[in-house]
């Protein structure tokens, strides 16, 4: 499971001209799921994300987590995070899970993030053509892959 985590001042997702998810200060998380991912990946990644100390404290040092700040999360599924660009100019998405595998793990990720954060999170619509807008704060962008834990 791969995630791109961005600290944002605000972010939103629009599907068919309708805003389906929006947050103010917090994290926009793009998540890609592959067939090798399991509940263990979901649990590890959600705990890692909510524990990341990437928000500034009173001394202007990145020392606070999303839990510490009371910030919000917007989670968006993005199969292109598993693109292979080794051959040719057209990326291959063979590693990205198909909906029967990915949707249950995506739903578990939502539930785990909500559990760790202690409140509801916002989401995009799995598999939809989404328009994502954000204002990256910092900029701070972190990439985490559950297959690279060590």
Instruction: Count Cβ atoms within 10 A of the Cβ of residue 87 and give its class: 0-12 exposed, 13-18 middle, 19 or more buried.
Output: exposed
- Cβ atoms 74, 123 nearer than 8 A: yes
In angstroms, the CA 5 to CA 3 distance is 6
Cα 8 off chain centre by: 12
Check pLDDT > 90 for residue 56: yes
At residue 55, the pLDDT reads: 98
Question: 32 phi and psi, to 5 degrees?
Answer: -115, 135
Marked catalytic residue, from 69, 80, 85, 123? 80
At residue 45, the pLDDT reads: 97
In angstroms, the CA 12 to CA 120 distance is 15
In angstroms, the CA 149 to CA 44 distance is 9
At residue 94, the pLDDT reads: 85
In angstroms, the CA 81 to CA 4 distance is 8
Check pLDDT > 80 for residue 81: yes
Q: Per-residue pLDDT tens for 84-130?
A: 888 889 998 888 999 999 999 999 999 999 999 999 999 999 999 99
At residue 62, the pLDDT reads: 97
At residue 88, the pLDDT reads: 87
Check pLDDT > 90 for residue 26: yes
At residue 76, the pLDDT reads: 98
Q: Give all domains of the chain, ordered by start, each with its CATH number.
A: 2-145 (3.50.80.10)
Active site includes 80?
A: yes
Mean pLDDT (the chain) is 96
């Amino acid at each position: 499971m791969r995630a791109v985590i961005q600290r944002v001042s605000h972010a939103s997702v629009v599907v068919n001209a309708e805003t389906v998810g929006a947050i103010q200060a917090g994290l926009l998380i793009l998540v890609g799921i592959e067939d090798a991912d399991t509940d263990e990946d979901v649990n590890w990644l959600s705990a890692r994300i909510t524990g990341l100390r990437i928000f500034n404290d009173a001394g202007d040092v990145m020392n606070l987590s999303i839990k510490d700040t009371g910030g919000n999360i917007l989670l968006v599924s993005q199969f292109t995070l598993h693109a292979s660009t080794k051959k040719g100019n057209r990326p291959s998405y063979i590693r990205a899970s198909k909906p029967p595998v990915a949707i249950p793990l995506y739903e578990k990720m939502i539930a785990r993030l909500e559990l760790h954060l202690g409140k509801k999170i916002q989401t995009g619509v799995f598999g939809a053509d989404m328009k994502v807008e954000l204002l990256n704060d910092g900029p701070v962008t972190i990439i985490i892959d559950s297959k690279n834990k060590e």
